[in-house]
């Protein structure tokens, strides 16, 4: 159960971000941004030789087995969105209902 | 149909109907509907079906008959309609006033969207209610033609543009003035197609500007659909001027006899004509029907439909079932169908309808694939036909000079040319962009232009630009050939040279065959002719036509030659100039 889900583009701006409205959303946005640092660390740590262009799924930044499935689903949905020729790289992901539905299913159910 | 006693209203709710908030589109739509029903107030309440409310005299009310028909056309079950009429208050007050009517419409929309029939349902944002009229209902209900005249109900047209709505309005009014006693054959074909023309032409006028192919073909596809519909609507004097907003005709159950009958309330079912049209479009993008269209190609194509990008994106999401970024033929048909439906004003479904699923489409329409295969095999056979001919020519002629054409080769090639020309014309008749003149000029190239040494190779390269202009099927073999320069000169170079002639032939428009350069050439060709004349007259004629064409080709080549010579001179001059510059600079650079 996630409280916030975000997809960040290469240029460090969010393509898609959604959080449960009860919390302070700004806090989540900051957290997402700081997590980018961890991603950068990982990439630089891997070294140039090891960077396989196809293996874009870095995996979980922190070991949390519960969320493995969730991240997988996110990644798959993201690739589906990318396959859509009408989606231009760098656009916000606002038109894909499948993506929305998937994210909704993963977010915490706030009654 | 249950008989509803209007007076003994069972379910009239205690409170009055809540205030309605209508969007602009809804407002317009509802008021149109109301006007229609109200306008038909003189249309005879007696024939109205029993479940309608009683008609009260007065201009501000809608007549029961048309109202009931309208409600029935919403394809909701009778029970629901009963509930709706109760809820909207018509039962209570005994007539359909404007308020009641609007509430009823809103409830219909709610019911069609799957919401329960309650007052609360109409408070939220709803799409417009959909009404599908079938002519049969009109026949059954209204045997009296005079009544029909006033009982047309305008279907709310789910379009974002008001212009189209008004245009339909005008069309409607025009048809209203038609005599109701027109024969059914004359009237239905004229009015429904007339009506159909309007939304279709409007919806597709946008398409027309950008994708010219789509509109005429699709429009023609509509016509055959409408004709059978019109002819089957028997009944003397009936004038089923029911307008259908659905993309596919919603035939009532009695119409299932027809081959292309569609199921009521299923706009997502693809008819045969539509299917053929989609397949043709697919072929134009991708000749192999079992292969797929890439995402970018599909994107360019669908963008021509002028739908917004988010909508197209959503349509893609719906139709690309395997999410591979490419569209197979059934996926393409589904996508196309969704686009067409959207352009006609249908809201896009939440999920891919079962009739548009790829498995369903493949199972339902296997036939077009065979046609495609036939077509492909046909076009494939053409280059195959050509190649043996080329080989023939090449084997028989090894001459560098065009003039020395051996006689037997001419016989073979000229006959072949005729045959091939006709076959190519048939096969390529489906090509849209090429004009017949190009095609007729396809084959009669001079036999065997032998492979020339390097200068000719460069010619071929420069002429390679002409290749894109030419038709697809024969050029398939050709386009690969300019790339092969190392291949022995025999076959491939002859083709580009041949191609060169085609546009040249076109350009010259069969100019005079003799020029100074071709004079000696033609003189040389005259020599073998006396021997030819001994042969049959048919061959003679064939040879003479071949000669004429060769002369033309001669002229063309000669001109080309002179042009290239010119270019050569210029290049020489440039080279000289550059060398001079180099000379001047040299003493400076040498240290």
Give the CA diameter of chain A. 49
- pLDDT digit string (tens) for chain B, length 591 residues: 444 444 444 444 444 445 566 777 778 887 888 887 776 544 444 444 444 444 444 445 666 777 788 888 887 888 888 887 887 776 667 777 788 888 888 888 888 877 777 777 766 667 777 776 544 443 444 434 444 344 444 444 443 444 444 444 444 444 444 444 444 444 444 444 444 444 444 444 444 444 444 444 444 444 444 444 444 444 444 444 444 444 444 433 344 444 444 555 567 788 888 888 988 888 888 888 788 888 888 888 888 888 888 888 888 888 888 888 888 888 888 888 888 888 888 888 888 888 888 888 777 766 544 444 444 444 444 444 444 444 444 444 444 444 444 444 444 444 554 544 455 455 444 444 444 444 444 444 444 444 444 444 444 444 444 444 444 444 444 444 444 444 444 444 444 444 444 444 444 444 444 444 444 445 445 555 555 556 688 999 999 999 999 999 999 999 999 999 999 999 999 999 999 998 888 877 665
Cβ-proximal residues to B378 (8 Å cutoff; 6+ apart), any chain? B427
pTM of the predicted protein model: 0.34
Minimal CA–CA distance to B343: which of B214, B224, B212? B214
Collapsed DSSP state (helix, strand, coil) of residue B303: helix
CA distances from B124 to B10, B22, B82, B127 (A): 26, 10, 22, 10
Put simply, the answer to whether B299 touches A86 (Cβ < 8 Å) is yes
Put simply, the answer to whether B323 touches A80 (Cβ < 8 Å) is yes
CA distance B124 to chain A (A): 21
CA distance B299 to chain A (A): 6
Q: Which pLDDT score, from 0 to 100, does residue B530 have?
A: 54
* B298, B310, B323 member nearest A85 (Cβ): B298
Put simply, the answer to whether A84 touches B310 (Cβ < 8 Å) is no
Residue A85: other Cβ atoms inside 10 A: 23
Buried-state track B66-79, b at ≥16 Cβ within 10 A, e below 16 = bbbbbbbbbbbeee
Residue A107 backbone phi and psi in degrees, to 5 = -75, 160
Mutate to test the interface with B, among A73, A77, A80, A84 (most CBs of B within 10 A): A84
CA distance A45 to chain B (A): 33
| Residue numbers in A near B299 (CB within 8 A) | 85-86
Q: Give the residue from chain B lying closest to A98, CA to CA.
A: B317
| Residue numbers in A near B324 (CB within 8 A) | 83
Put simply, the answer to whether B316 touches A95 (Cβ < 8 Å) is no
Q: Give the residue from chain B lying closest to A78, CA to CA.
A: B323
Assigned token pair, B451: 């492979």
Put simply, the answer to whether A96 touches B317 (Cβ < 8 Å) is yes
Q: Contact B311/A91 with Cβ under 8 angstroms?
A: no
| Residue numbers in A near B314 (CB within 8 A) | 95-97
A48 or B39, greater pLDDT? B39
Q: Residue B578 burial by CB count (10 A; 0-12/13-18/19+): exposed, middle or buried?
A: exposed
Q: Give the residue from chain A lying closest to B308, CA to CA.
A: A86
Enumerate chain B positions whose Cβ falls within 8 A of a Cβ in A.
295-296, 298-299, 309-310, 312-314, 316-317, 320, 323-325, 350
* B310, B317, B324 member nearest A98 (Cβ): B317
Buried-state track B205-217, b at ≥16 Cβ within 10 A, e below 16 = ebbbeebebbbee
Q: Give the residue from chain B lying closest to A94, CA to CA.
A: B310
CA distance B382 to chain A (A): 35
Put simply, the answer to whether B317 touches A85 (Cβ < 8 Å) is no
CA distance B294 to chain A (A): 9
CA distance B118 to B107: 7
| Residue numbers in A near B320 (CB within 8 A) | 83-84
Q: Residue B421 burial by CB count (10 A; 0-12/13-18/19+): exposed, middle or buried?
A: middle
Minimal CA–CA distance to B85: which of B39, B111, B110, B51? B51
- Which residues face A18 on adjacent strands? A5
Minimal CA–CA distance to A16: which of A101, A109, A108? A101
- DSSP readout, A69-101? HHHHHHHHHHHHHHH-TTPPTT----S-HHHHH
B214 or A30, greater pLDDT? A30
Q: Contact B534/B528 with Cβ under 8 angstroms?
A: no
**Which helix (H) or strand (E) segment is B293 a member of?**
strand B293-294
CA distance B218 to B200: 9
What ipTM goes with this model?
0.73
Taking each helix axis as running N to C, give the angle between helix B367-396 and helix B272-285, from 0 to 180 degrees, rounded to the nearest 10: 40
Taking each helix axis as running N to C, give the angle between helix B309-319 and helix A97-106, from 0 to 180 degrees, rounded to the nearest 10: 70
CA distance A2 to chain B (A): 25
Q: Which pLDDT score, from 0 to 100, does residue B544 have?
A: 93
Question: pLDDT confidence of A52, banded at 50, 70, 90?
Answer: very low
CA distance A86 to chain B (A): 5
Q: Give the residue from chain A lying closest to B297, CA to CA.
A: A85
Question: pLDDT confidence of A66, banded at 50, 70, 90?
Answer: low
Q: Which pLDDT score, from 0 to 100, does residue B558 have?
A: 94
Collapsed DSSP state (helix, strand, coil) of residue B349: coil
Per DSSP, B96 falls in state: B
Q: Which pLDDT score, from 0 to 100, does residue B141 have?
A: 43
CA distances from B61 to B66, B98, B212, B350 (A): 11, 7, 46, 37
CA distance B236 to B143: 9
Q: Contact B17/B84 with Cβ under 8 angstroms?
A: no
| Residue numbers in B near A92 (CB within 8 A) | none
- Which residues face A2 on adjacent strands? A107
Mutate to test the interface with A, among B323, B325, B342 (most CBs of A within 10 A): B323
* Total number of domains constituting chain A: 1
Tell me which residue range forms the domain holding A36. 4-110
Put simply, the answer to whether A85 touches B323 (Cβ < 8 Å) is no
Q: What share of chain B is helix, strand, coil (3-state, %, to 5)?
A: 60, 0, 35
Q: Which pLDDT score, from 0 to 100, does residue A48 have?
A: 55
CA distance B315 to B309: 10
Query: Per-residue pLDDT for A19 more than 80?
Result: no
* B296, B314, B324 member nearest A97 (Cβ): B314
| Residue numbers in A near B295 (CB within 8 A) | 83-85
| Residue numbers in A near B323 (CB within 8 A) | 80, 83
Q: Give the residue from chain A lying closest to B319, CA to CA.
A: A84
Q: Residue B241 burial by CB count (10 A; 0-12/13-18/19+): exposed, middle or buried?
A: buried
Put simply, the answer to whether A83 touches B295 (Cβ < 8 Å) is yes
Where does B344-465 have alpha helices with state H?
358-364, 367-396, 407-427, 436-440, 454-463
Collapsed DSSP state (helix, strand, coil) of residue B61: coil
Residue A54 backbone phi and psi in degrees, to 5 = -85, -25
Q: Average pLDDT, stretch A16-21?
A: 76
CA distance A67 to chain B (A): 24
CA angle A39, A41, A45 (to 5 degrees): 120
Tell the residue number behind the tokens 């079950």, with chain if given: B77
Cβ-proximal residues to B228 (8 Å cutoff; 6+ apart), any chain? B258, B260
Per DSSP, B70 falls in state: H
Put simply, the answer to whether A85 touches B314 (Cβ < 8 Å) is no
Assigned token pair, B388: 């043996």
Cβ-proximal residues to B298 (8 Å cutoff; 6+ apart), any chain? A85, B285, B316, B326, B327, B332, B335
CA distance B243 to B173: 12
CA distance A38 to chain B (A): 31
Buried-state track A41-79, b at ≥16 Cβ within 10 A, e below 16 = eeeeeeeeeeeeeeeeeeeeeeeeeeeeebbeebeebbe
């Amino acid at each position: 159960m996630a409280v916030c889900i975000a997809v960040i583009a290469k240029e460090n701006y969010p393509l898609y971000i959604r959080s449960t409205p009860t919390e302070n959303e700004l806090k989540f946005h900051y957290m997402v941004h700081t997590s980018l640092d961890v991603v950068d660390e990982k990439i630089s740590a891997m070294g140039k030789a090891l960077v396989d262009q196809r293996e874009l799924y870095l995996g979980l930044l922190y070991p949390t087995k519960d969320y493995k499935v969730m991240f997988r689903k996110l990644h798959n949905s993201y690739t589906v969105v990318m396959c859509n020729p009408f989606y231009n790289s760098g656009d916000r992901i606002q038109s894909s209902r499948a993506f929305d539905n998937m994210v909704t299913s993963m977010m915490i159910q706030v009654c | 149909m249950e008989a509803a006693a209007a007076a003994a209203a069972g379910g009239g709710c205690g409170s009055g109907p809540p205030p309605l908030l209508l969007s602009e589109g809804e407002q317009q739509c509802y008021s149109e509907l109301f006007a229609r029903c109200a306008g038909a107030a003189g249309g005879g309440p007696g024939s109205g079906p029993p479940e309608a409310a009683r008609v009260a005299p007065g201009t501000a009310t809608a007549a029961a008959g048309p109202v009931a028909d309208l409600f029935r056309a919403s394809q909701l079950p009778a029970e629901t309609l009963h509930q709706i009429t109760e809820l909207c208050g018509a039962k209570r007050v005994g007539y359909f006033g404007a308020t009641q009517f609007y509430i009823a419409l809103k409830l219909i929309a709610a019911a069609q969207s799957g919401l329960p029939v309650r007052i609360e349902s109409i408070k939220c944002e709803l799409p417009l209610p959909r009404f599908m009229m079938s002519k049969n209902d009109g026949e059954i209900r209204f045997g009296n033609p005079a009544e029909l005249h006033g009982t047309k109900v305008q279907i709310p047209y789910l379009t974002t543009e008001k212009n189209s709505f008004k245009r339909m309005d005008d069309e409607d009014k025009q048809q209203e003035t038609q005599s109701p006693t027109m024969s059914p054959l004359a009237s239905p074909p004229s009015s429904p197609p007339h009506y159909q023309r309007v939304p279709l032409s409007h919806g597709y006028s946008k398409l027309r500007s950008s994708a010219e192919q789509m509109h005429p073909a699709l429009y023609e596809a509509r016509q055959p659909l409408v004709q059978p519909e019109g002819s089957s609507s028997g009944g003397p004097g009936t004038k089923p001027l029911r307008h259908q907003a659905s993309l596919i005709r919603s035939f009532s159950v009695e119409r299932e006899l027809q081959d292309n009958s569609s199921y009521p309330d299923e706009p997502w079912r693809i008819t045969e004509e539509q299917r053929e049209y989609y397949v043709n479009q697919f072929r134009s993008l991708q000749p192999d029907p079992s292969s797929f269209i890439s995402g970018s190609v599909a994107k360019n194509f669908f963008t021509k439909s002028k739908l917004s990008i988010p909508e197209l994106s959503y349509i893609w999401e719906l139709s690309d079932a395997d999410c591979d970024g490419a569209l197979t033929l059934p996926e393409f048909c589904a996508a196309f169908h969704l686009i067409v439906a959207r352009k006609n004003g249908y809201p896009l479904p939440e999920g891919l309808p079962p009739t548009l699923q790829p498995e369903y489409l493949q199972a339902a329409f296997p036939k077009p694939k065979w046609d495609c295969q036939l077509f492909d095999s046909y076009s494939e056979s053409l280059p195959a036909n050509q190649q043996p001919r080329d080989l023939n020519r090449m084997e028989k002629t090894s001459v560098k000079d065009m003039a020395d054409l051996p006689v037997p080769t001419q016989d073979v090639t000229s006959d072949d040319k005729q045959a091939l020309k006709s076959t190519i014309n048939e096969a390529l008749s489906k090509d849209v962009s090429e004009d017949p003149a190009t095609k007729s000029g396809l084959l009669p190239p001079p036999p065997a232009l032998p492979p020339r040494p390097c200068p000719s190779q460069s010619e071929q390269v420069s002429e390679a630009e002409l290749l894109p202009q030419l038709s697809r099927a024969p050029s398939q073999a050709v386009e690969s050939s300019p790339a092969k320069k190392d291949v022995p000169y025999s076959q491939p170079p002859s083709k580009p040279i041949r191609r060169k002639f085609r546009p040249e032939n076109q350009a010259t428009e069969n100019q005079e065959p003799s020029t100074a350069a071709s004079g000696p050439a033609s003189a040389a060709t005259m020599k073998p002719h006396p021997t030819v004349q001994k042969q049959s007259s048919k061959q003679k004629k064939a040879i003479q036509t071949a000669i004429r064409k060769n002369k033309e080709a001669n002229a063309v080549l000669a001109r080309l030659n002179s042009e290239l010579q010119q270019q050569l001179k210029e290049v020489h001059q440039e080279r000289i100039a550059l060398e001079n510059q180099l000379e001047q600079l040299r003493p400076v650079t040498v240290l």
